[in-house]
Amino acid sequence: MTEQTVSAPLWPAPFAQAPVDATVAVPGSKSVTNRGLVLAALAADTGVLRRPLRSRDTLLMADALRALGVHVEEGVGSDGTGEFWRVIPAALRGPATADVGNAGTVMRFLPPLAALADGPVRLDGDPRSYERPLHGVIDALRVLGARIDDGCRGALPMTVHGTGSLAGGAVEIDASASSQFVSALLLSGPRFNQGVEVRHVGASLPSMPHIRMTIDMLRKAGAQVDAPEDGGEPDVWRVTPGALLGRDLVVEPDLSNAQPFLAAALITGGRVTVPDWPEHTTQPGDALRRIFTEMGGSCVLDEHGLTFTGSGRIHGIDVDLSDVGELTPGIAAVAALADSESVLRGVGHLRLHETDRLAALTKEINGLGGQVTETEDGLRIRPRPLHGGVFHTYDDHRLATAAALLGLVTEGVKVEDIATTGKTLPGFDGMWAGMLGTDGVNGTSGGSRIEESA
């Protein structure tokens, strides 16, 4: 978290005049889209992603794959099935350069793929990407046979000197900083000569549902994966070398991006339906059904989707979020509005996300009158009456959506750089106005005015 010195646009967060009552269609999952792109690029034949997420993180992945010689064509189905991306794999080429932005999925999933290119691949990104942990991927790739020039930093920017193939084999890593280290190695594993065996040797491992998502998608693309949950050794995954199939994949809505809308129902005592909520999923956002129910609402999953209804009461919660860390900012915002204290545990690694999320949430919620303290592995949140003010967002999409939530029930909240939501949810401000019925349809325009900060 660095202080923001440049003036950034301020977005007056719309204040809810009444409980929300809306249906909100949420675009595709970032995590599924970027895994789908990588697996399709490594496949033996053409694949299609239907309803992919079109956001900064996924466009960066598509562009990086194009730089490596893969064809990613964008189209719109004539049969009402919406947008699709056709991925035509090709021999991976170097020299190439790729911008990873501040996308964890791109900066971690791309290096193993780059090691399969037939020349050097230079990876660079936003200043924050230099600070985000990448050593687990870099060190592992070296053990597996890759040559990487990272100036001994264990971080970006770096060049992966691809030679057209990688030996692969067994490797130990400490993935306590990010589950994406494990996912990255497994995703490209089928294309390594000996496949890959990844053994996690660190103290903890966050975001297990995301590792399950990796395994599930690998298997659906034809890979053979041995995982701990199938009776294998704890913290060891094995991927057998072999060809991957091009799939026709319909991307589920991003359930973590559904969070602010469901939370809006919870904190206003209203109701929000998210269509196409999957009955079974590996997405961590599915845990919102349990977490937000415990915090005071109720939900029904039926043919309309997931309908979440607030009760008018918001309860504090004591919860371990290590499996679902990316939900923390939204849960923290709701907790700041609750009728009792909350303790959010197991998320120390969020200090190395888009920003230091624990420091940023503490500072910004307290700036509106809240009482949040950092613990070693999370946050303690004592609800206090909040007041308006500027909420800084530190280039973090989930800070921005958390701020919008606080502004929904607190007059005068101004959110810095709402456009940062474009990392995973472009057009968030318009969707928020649509949920409130203030998107111009009924004559008001709460969500679109922008001011310059001092």
Ligand X SMILES: O=C(O)C1=C[C@@H](OP(=O)(O)O)[C@@H](O)[C@H](O)C1
Ligand Y SMILES: C=C(OP(=O)(O)O)C(=O)O
Torsion of CA 352, 121, 146, 350, to 10 degrees: 10
Length of the chain counted residue by residue = 454
* Catalytic residue chosen out of the listed positions 252, 326, 354, 364: 326
Closest-CA residue to 180 (of 389, 385, 312, 353): 353
Name which of 173 and 386 has its Cβ closer to ligand Y. 173
In sequence order, the β-bridge partners of residue 305 are 302
**Only segment of 51-59, 205-213, 286-294, 384-392 that touches ligand X (CB under 6 A):** 205-213
Choices 42-50, 204-212, 237-245, 333-341; region in contact with ligand X by CB under 6 A:
204-212
Q: Residue 414, annotated ligand binder?
A: no
User: Please, which residue, 183 or 342, has the CB nearer to ligand X?
Assistant: 183
Residue 34: count other Cβ atoms within 10 Å of its Cβ.
26
User: Using CB under 6 A, which of the segments 48-56, 174-182, 360-368, 406-414 binds ligand X?
Assistant: 174-182
Based on the shown chain and the rule CB under 6 A, indicate whether residue 28 belongs to the binding site for ligand X. no
CB of 306 to ligand X, least distance (A): 20
Compare residues 20 and 221 and give the one whose CB is closer to ligand X.
221
Interacting positions 337-376 with ligand X (CB under 6 A): 349
> Residue 164, by phi and psi: left (phi above 0), alpha (psi -120 to 50) or beta?
left
When binding is defined by CB under 6 A, the residue of 246, 269, 310, 325 that contacts ligand X is 325
- Dihedral sign (CA 374, 379, 384, 387): positive
Interface ranges with ligand Y (CB under 6 A): 103-105, 326, 353-354, 398, 424
Lay out the sheet containing 225-226: strands in order across.
169-173, 196-200, 236-239, 225-226
Does position 105 interact with ligand X (CB under 6 A)? The reply is yes
For ligand Y, the closer CB: 107 or 227: 107
179 touching ligand X, by CB under 6 A:
yes
- Residue 416 annotated in active site: no
Nearest-10 crossing angle of helices 56-67, 104-114 = 10
- Residue 178 within binding range of ligand X, rule CB under 6 A: yes
Considering CB distances under 5 to 8 angstroms, the limit depending on partner class, which of ligand Y, ligand X, none binds residue 410? Answer: none
Would you count residue 316 as binding ligand X (CB under 6 A)? no
- The window from 47-55, 85-93, 178-186, 409-417 that contacts ligand X (CB under 6 A) reads 178-186
Size of the site for ligand X (CB under 6 A): 13
Does position 51 interact with ligand X (CB under 6 A)? The reply is no
Sign of CA dihedral 419, 27, 19, 394: negative
Closer of 161 and 220 to ligand X (Cβ): 220
204 annotated ligand binder: no
Residue nearer to ligand X on the CB measure, 132 or 289: 132
Pair of tokens at residue 16? 């809810």
- Give the binding site for ligand X (CB under 6 A): 31, 104-105, 178-180, 183, 206-207, 210, 325-326, 349
Catalytic annotation, residues: 326
Task: Show binding-site residues for phosphoenolpyruvate.
Answer: 30, 104, 132, 180, 357, 398, 423
Task: Show binding-site residues for 3-phosphoshikimate.
Answer: 30-31, 35, 178-180, 207, 326, 353
